[in-house]
Structure 1
């Protein structure tokens, strides 16, 4: 357990010897931000001091207990017990059973369930945005914006649920025709990154669900509370509609759980978002079993500025593209290629712009860089 504050080694020993076990536990729990009245809104998302990181119709978790920290102040937020390999096995079995139910639900009705998920997310948009600011470190506006991305793709998916394409082909046989029908794959696994823990899962799950697939989600180890909070919202909608909660299963964990997903033939499609080196490893494991995968990996983006460019737009665009999300996203601009005739002006104005960039508490509305 991490120790916070300034103490000498001797004073630590003295403190531990003079406190009762009950008092020590109380002090340890009260050091979590979730127990601070300032962050009481965390409990509105169904979070507590100790949370389960596995869900497959019921909550569990028998793996390692981890603590989620706020990157802005290094303070512990709450604890999460991760999924173990045994929990993973329960989740994959429950997901496959849930798929037998979900795939039989007509697509427009699946769209209605997903629409209700969007409404539930709208209700909790502000709290989820604040949770992202607290656990991820991005500013509040970006946190809420990411939740809105999830809601927006849900709106698209709801429309899609009534417009599945399928061609009708002429047949060479009299009084016959050929019909094309798309069928769901089954279990769709999603391994998401820390920098967009809500939107990336939303992009994958919204489309997958209306198409008749079920989700098995492993969020980033550093943002487990976001994964738990989102799953609680989705499971409440499924429960209200008398549907299996395992339609949206969660197996929060580390590389061990990710490896199980990549190698498991029961995961019909695996979506991975993260670094290029890890994405390469994941793709190799999935290819070894002739599986399907989607990869969204890192980039090395550049802005090319010609001599006739609008310098004002260049500076504004570069500042946003470089500093947005604290520079930690796949679309972050990492290089500027400047024509020599505008080089000095662009650099000078960028330096001035960076000097005005407000860095601080991501929950503060005045902060521009978390």
Structure 2
């Protein structure tokens, strides 16, 4: 006897719809490795319909005064709180995430971020009006860019959806959002929440649309003639493809891509405290985080002590079922990701040493043990490339100059951290590290008021903060003659 799979659907112009050609793909729970739902595999007709709906709704949504858009976002935030348990259940099934951690670590910041952007809608920035030429007054208008094609990743499906739709809607844009093909469930639920709020407050249904599908669906969205902007959170390869596709008609592009965060630990740090925090920041969400603390550079005088303490912390870190409140993280998201993480371990050079973990856990699902690898060199594959799994690497450096050289010696530049009691050193490193974020004696906290985004192959554009809001606006200069 087989269990019927739940049927997920696109959300286009206020209606839930199957793909126009009826194609679907199975959605797998990574904790069990078994399918639990089907989702549309959307094609050109579905993308056309969603873009048409967003385009039709744009003039009305754009012309609302900011206070009206704020009301909508505040109501959406309230509804997220009211339906939190549904969101938690959907995300846990989506990703295999521990229920308790989704409840404590994802719902509150998501709600806060929506409310932040609700306020940002009413705080448009621009230079003061003035006379910069005799007889003329200049003013600056900040306007929405138009329809936004947005593609969210599978590591934080709900939260990354919020990071995309909240600033876009607050600024007056309309949205067509595609979740990852492996994690559509929570995004479809978000569509139901936002759609109900738009209906309740009498706003156009096409303001927010969700189209499920695979990479081809995403390509169709980015290359479509309607969107003025494409935003993606994903791999470097995906980001490059989006940038290339968008360049054909000069769409604005917003990219948040991979990371390989250096964690620079000096000999004067509190080792026990640093290890505790770094292990949490490295293994949280199974290391499937672009900012994860997975590349540790530790001063040689404390290297052995640090590695021993980190290996012990790894052995005490649990992964497991979604209803186990003692686990820090659940499975890797999909079979391909599990194979990728295994591949990094299998290809380790002879000089590397696995201090803890290094193997799959259990006989079902995609669980991988908390892992520590030492003895690595700067040009090793596992140091240079993003693993995106619960694997922390350790290198030993001699002095500050070498630490900075190695920290910056990768193609990614999203996040980093420095661990030291020396304030001057911390200030020097915060300047020298070529990363979009530098944490000092901590790693991974984010707040709605501060920007998140990187340099180099980690992409460009900012999420969160007023800078993230500004990315979804355009600037217009208006000059008027004072000669009546």
TM range (shorter): 0.7 to 0.9
Find the counterpart in structure 2 of residue 245 from structure 1. Answer: 205
In structure 2, C-alpha distance between the alignment counterparts of 1:260 and 1:179, rounded to whole Å: 38
Give the TM-score normalised by structure 1. 0.84
1:139/1:325 contact within 8 Å kept: no
In structure 1, C-alpha distance between the alignment counterparts of 2:107 and 2:13, rounded to whole Å: 23
* 2:140 aligned with 1:183: no
* 2:257 aligned with 1:297: yes
| SS of structure 1 residue aligned to 2:2 | helix
1:216/1:248 contact within 8 Å kept: yes
Alpha-carbon deviation of 1:173? 4.2
Gaps of 5+ in 2: 331-484
Aligned equivalent of 2:2, options 15, 28, 53: 28
In structure 2, C-alpha distance between the alignment counterparts of 1:151 and 1:123, rounded to whole Å: 11
Alpha-carbon deviation of 1:51? 2.2
Find the counterpart in structure 1 of residue 36 from structure 2. Answer: 77
In structure 2, C-alpha distance between the alignment counterparts of 1:64 and 1:127, rounded to whole Å: 26
2:11/2:191 contact within 8 Å kept: no
1:194/1:219 contact within 8 Å kept: yes
Alpha-carbon deviation of 1:171? 4.7
Alpha-carbon deviation of 1:293? 0.5
In structure 1, C-alpha distance between the alignment counterparts of 2:318 and 2:305, rounded to whole Å: 22
Find the counterpart in structure 2 of residue 154 from structure 1. Answer: 114
In structure 2, C-alpha distance between the alignment counterparts of 1:263 and 1:302, rounded to whole Å: 35
The equivalences for 1:1-370 within 5 A come to 27-30=1-4, 32=5, 49-62=6-19, 63-144=22-103, 145-166=105-126, 167-174=128-135, 177-370=137-330
Alpha-carbon deviation of 1:164? 1.4
| SS of structure 2 residue aligned to 1:342 | helix
Cα pair distance change 1:81/1:172, threshold 3 Å? closer
In structure 2, C-alpha distance between the alignment counterparts of 1:66 and 1:222, rounded to whole Å: 9
In structure 2, C-alpha distance between the alignment counterparts of 1:247 and 1:91, rounded to whole Å: 10
Find the counterpart in structure 2 of residue 42 from structure 1. Answer: none
- Give CA deviations for 1:149-185 in whole Å, capped at 9, x if unaligned: 22111111121222212331225344x5221111111
| SS of structure 2 residue aligned to 1:121 | helix
| SS of structure 2 residue aligned to 1:205 | helix
| SS of structure 1 residue aligned to 2:145 | coil
In structure 2, C-alpha distance between the alignment counterparts of 1:141 and 1:203, rounded to whole Å: 22
Alpha-carbon deviation of 1:313? 2.0
Alpha-carbon deviation of 1:242? 1.8
Alpha-carbon deviation of 1:316? 1.1
| SS of structure 2 residue aligned to 1:157 | helix
Query: By percentage of residues, which structure has more strand?
Result: 2
1:301/1:332 contact within 8 Å kept: yes
What is the number of residues matched between the two proteins? 326
In structure 2, C-alpha distance between the alignment counterparts of 1:157 and 1:290, rounded to whole Å: 27
Query: By percentage of residues, which structure has more helix?
Result: 1
Give the TM-score normalised by structure 2. 0.65
- Give CA deviations for 1:179-222 in whole Å, capped at 9, x if unaligned: 11111111011101000111112112111112110011010000
